[in-house]
Every structure is written in structure tokens, then in C-alpha cells.
Amino acid sequence: MPTGDYYKILGVNRDAKPEDIKKAYRRLARKHHPDVNPNDRAAEERFKSVSEAFEVLSDPRKREIYDRYGHYSDQMPPGGPASQPFDFASFGAAGLRDVFSEIFGNIRSQTQTKKQPERGADIEQALAISFEDAVRGLTTKVTLTRNESCSSCEGTGEGKGEQTTCSSCKGTGQTTGRFGGSGRCSQCAGKGKVAPPCSACRGRGVTAKEQTIQIRVPAGVATGSRVKVPGKGHAGMRSAAAGDLYIVTNVGPHPHLTRQGDNIYCSVPITVPEAALGARIEVPTVDGKMVIRIPPGTQSGQKFRLRERGVPSLRGSGMRGDQYVEVKITLPKIIGEETKDLLLKYARHNPENPRADMGLD
């Protein structure tokens, strides 16, 4: 008897095109395949239902009969439906076998590649650097623990000694899948025998060692930047390629400078006479002290731009940001009567009201 509505089982409309039926079958069969769900009876039954539905709906003649009578059997007489159950052995049909080969050819191999070469894992290593080194770049060394190729077995994972019969293929060199078909055993590479695991690395082909590596941190990194050092991650298992090393930078603060993107900012105090009369003052930069000109009448909070005194761009364009210097006018300290008299004299000779524009006295 039919196990249900084949269209509902595959999740397609009754007018679905053949390619839509095949696509739905691929998705559901991959999800419920016994190789993907070992020892799961419910998944196996769902897989049988999905395969049964596809075996009928993918064949135009069988689908026509199913649409007419509501179910299909190979034993149905020309005049009407029969009550014969679906024969799961019909999975040997060419069309269904082709789909099996297409969809599950890799599943079997994936379940047998546990001991195949495997690329080494990447490593992340934090590195604290100064504000100046982040701007200029530096070459330094880091010490870390990483997997290296085992020197005893040269990364193969195989030890020395008499080979034993492969437990996967029982010495035949061939393995058979759940639904038939055979192929070369991946565990012994078709030889039928396997070498004992290396005692030094326990068959992994790698051993953990502490190593000091020289790295180059480019100019312009910031906190959180990831600097890639190719091939300096963990060594691959069984002679596979090594992973990469990623240096994650943590930039320390500067006592006077701050950074926003590729630009640098700082605040520098100036005196009332310097602001009023103008002056030449020193300001800090990542390249050392620099003299800038303060024009007469400079106001507190005014900013001066120092072109290309900022941070080099990590985009490699050769460009560099700017530095912005903000001046803050500091009030003079009253250090004696003479200073006080000078300020009173200045006030008498300059009776200006900076609040006049606001209508205030």
C-alpha cells in the first residue's frame, strides 16, 4: 500500500516540474540518508519514503499512473490500481542509481576520510605594541606553541614495524557502501595493510613545540588589526599544509596624542600673550617635536592642520593621514601685586565686552 501522498512527502506541488522533483529529493535524501544518520530508524524510514516517492514521480509513465489512481505498483494491471507494496529493491533502477551516485558519492568518502591529510589550524596570537610602533611599524619576535611535523615519522603518522591487516576493508583493499558499489579503501589506500601508528605523535603526524617566530607588523595597524603570517599556524596532519598565524595587535595609549582613523589629534595650551600677539611654539608628533606658527588673534579651540603627519594607510596606497593641533588659551596666574596691576591696566586700556553680540553686559 502507498505510504502517503508522494507530492507531500517531497514537499512539491502536483504540477511540479521534473527538475523541481529532483531538487526536492536531493535535499530530503541528503538530510535523511542512513550514512548521515547512523542507527536512526526514524531517519531510515523517512529516507525510504522519500526514495519511494521519487522513484515514482521521476518516471513520467509511473507518475501518470500515480496521478490517475492515487498510487503506483509495478504489478498494476492496465485496467486499474493494484495493492502491491513498493519494492525497495527497485532502488537498483538506473535513474535512481544515477541520483544516488550524484548525491551520495561524497557521503561515503567523507565517512572514510578520518585519517586523510588535514590542513593545520590557524593560530591567533595577541601582541601589545606602543602607539609609536603602530604608526611606524616594527619587526619583532613572538613565542608561541604550535604543532610541527613529527620528526620521527616525517609527518606521515605511521610508525616503523610490521604492517597489519586493515580493519576497514579486512585486507581486501576495497570497501562497499550501504547501497552497493565499491571503491578503494581510504584507510589503507587500497593496499589491504596499514602501518602501526607513530609512537611519538600517536599517528597524528604532528607534535606540539614552543617556537619563536620573527614577524613584521606593518605601519598603520590599530587595536584589533589582524596581521597574517602565512604558513606559521599549526602544521597539517599527515603531511598536509600548515595553517596561518594571525597577529592581533593591541595598541597602547600615547600621553599626548589620540588617533581617529588615519588622523592624529592633540591639544596644546598657549598663553594669552601668545594667542594675542602670535608666537612660534613646539607641538608633539609621532615623528618628534615640531614648531608651528600661532598667528596673532588666535582663539581658544582653534585647530591647525599638519599635513601627512598622521598614520600611514593600511591600504598600501602610500597615503598618510594628517595631525590636528587644537590650542587652548590658559589664563595667567596672579603671582604678585605687579601681575595684578598689569592686568588691571590692560583692562582699563581695553574696555571690550566679549558678550556684547549676545546683548549682555
> Using 50, 70 and 90 to split pLDDT, how confident is the model at 110?
very low
Beta strands 323-330 and 263-271, pairing class: parallel
> Using 50, 70 and 90 to split pLDDT, how confident is the model at 112?
very low
| Cα–Cα distance, 137 to 134 (Å, whole number) | 5
120-177 confidence digits (pLDDT tens): 999 999 999 999 999 999 999 999 999 998 888 877 778 887 788 887 788 787 876 5
Count CA atoms closer than 13 A to 68's CA, side-chain side: 14
Amino acid letter, residue 257 = L
Task: Name the CATH code of domain 258-349 (choices 2.60.260.20, 2.40.160.40, 2.40.50.840, 1.10.510.10).
Answer: 2.60.260.20
> Using 50, 70 and 90 to split pLDDT, how confident is the model at 351?
confident
What's the pLDDT score for residue 81?
46
Average pLDDT over residues 277-281: 96
Residue written as grid cell 598689569? 342
What's the pLDDT score for residue 89?
42
User: End-to-end CA distance of the chain, in Å?
Assistant: 102
What's the pLDDT score for residue 298?
96
Report whether CATH 1.10.4030.10 matches the domain 6-110.
no
Whether 49 shows a pLDDT value over 80: the answer reads yes
Which residue did the predictor score with more confidence, 178 or 342? 342
54-99 confidence digits (pLDDT tens): 989 999 988 988 888 777 766 554 444 444 444 444 444 445 555 5
Whether 178 shows a pLDDT value over 70: the answer reads no
Helix (H) or strand (E) holding 337: helix 337-349
DSSP code string of 262-309:
TEEEEEEEEEHHHHHH-EEEEEEETTEEEEEEE-TTPPTT-EEEETT-
Whether 183 shows a pLDDT value over 80: the answer reads no
320-340 confidence digits (pLDDT tens): 999 999 999 999 888 889 988
Contact between 123 and 227 (Cβ < 8 Å): no
Cβ of 302: how many Cβ atoms within 10 Å?
16
In terms of average pLDDT, the best of 40-49, 56-65, 300-309 is 300-309
Which of 283, 215, 210, 225 is CA-nearest to residue 245? 215
What's the pLDDT score for residue 95?
53
CA 199 to chain centre: 34
Sorted by where each begins, the domain ranges of the chain are 6-110, 258-349
Q: Is the pTM of this model over 0.85?
A: no
DSSP code string of 190-227:
TSSEEPPBPTTTTTSSEEEEEEEEEEEEPTT--TT-EE
219-250 confidence digits (pLDDT tens): 999 999 999 999 999 998 877 899 999 999 99
292: left (phi over 0), alpha (psi -120 to 50) or beta: beta
